Amino acid sequence: MTISATFSSHGKILMSPIRKSEWANQPVLCKSVELFKNGRNQYRMSTNSNKFQCRALEIENKSSTKFHLDDVIESQQFDRETLSAIFEVAREMEKIEKNSIGGRSEILKGYLMATLFYEPSTRTRLSFESAMKRLGGEVLTTENAREFSSAAKGETLEDTIRTVEGYSDIIVMRHFESGAARRAASTASIPIINAGDGPGQHPTQALLDVYTIEREIGKLDGINVALVGDLAYGRTVRSLAHLLAMYEDVKIYFVSPDVVKMKDDIKDYLTSMGVQWEENADLIEVASKCDVVYQTRIQRERFGERVDLYEEARGKYIVDMSVVNAMQKHAVVMHPLPRLDEITVDVDGDPRAAYFRQAKNGLYIRMALLKLLLLGW
């Protein structure tokens, strides 16, 4: 006998019978039960009993005391407790990568992840693919879906998602339009992870950034952070600002060319959360006060035909050894990568250069998210 089931966020599996008349008003007699995943929170149940007669079966869910995670779309969906829980799982993933044979586990064996990237990516796409494979899963990938998929023929995002979800258990998507990840999540019946949506958000980058700050500085409350470079179009700094606002006594400095200043929506949000922020044009002065200098590149692709504005912004703020020498000994330089010339290569040898350690931390955060989205707690 087989019945369908829906797994609720409250720790119950609610059963719907195939033939209700066969079991109405009869007791439950069931020797064994198996669950088979069939889409997001949808399960197929098989039992060896022909007398499985009940309207609903409650099954204890160990994750009932933890947060419920369906998708990863934006930074605002998290709170401090959730971040701490994700970071705890990330530390477990680091142990798997460092201590297991071959640096991998088999907990996601049998699962397929589709990476759907409409914009170029190296680090984000490869770190997700590495994360999935290190947990025993498999990957279906497209590197430039904007040019080499049916999107080039005019297929809608919604149709693409409905098609790809039929081949996979989870979709990691990068798109050129802000809000695309939310559209995908509203369409899909499997988890969606936003790997960057135009100038909108990049929540997994923000998660790994905060994780890195905690690992490098040792705390998240009471820190000063400088966000430098392209603050208008940089989705990483927007997402990071949202997460930093969850912590106490944080001050954020904005250092950027005039044409790419932080937009008012983020400033207003920080003010509403009681977070101090300041715009300052003197990078060395700001660097001397901060625990973190978070540098970003000026993104040529966001300027369209306005090459003149790009050239005006590019190269105005560069982190070189004069900036690093002004920093405190415990402070760090971070960057979401790729970099062009906004951090000079001689900075790489300084122990305060944390950007490659930051990139490695992305593996652990993404392993944690895949585990939580597909298996829960």
End-to-end Cα, the chain, rounded Å: 29
Annotated catalytic residue within 115, 124, 204, 296: 124
Task: Give just the sign of the alpha carbon dihedral 158, 123, 256, 313.
Answer: negative
Please indicate whether residue 124 is annotated as part of the active site.
yes
Let me know: does 255 contact 283? Beta carbons within 8 Å. yes
Please indicate whether residue 68 is annotated as part of the active site.
no
Annotated catalytic residue within 202, 352, 366, 371: 202
Please indicate whether residue 335 is annotated as part of the active site.
no
Please indicate whether residue 187 is annotated as part of the active site.
no
Let me know: does 103 contact 95? Beta carbons within 8 Å. no
Please indicate whether residue 300 is annotated as part of the active site.
no
What are the phi and psi torsion angles at 370 (to 5°)? Answer: -60, -45
Q: What are 172's strand-pairing partners?
A: 115, 193
Distance CA 135, CA 172 (A): 16
Annotated catalytic residue within 125, 174, 235, 366: 174
Annotated catalytic residue within 62, 98, 153, 329: 153
Residue 34: Cβ-neighbour burial (10 angstroms; 0-12, 13-18, 19+): exposed
Annotated catalytic residue within 66, 68, 104, 123: 123
Residue 345: Cβ-neighbour burial (10 angstroms; 0-12, 13-18, 19+): exposed
Task: List residues with catalytic annotation.
Answer: 123-124, 153, 174, 202
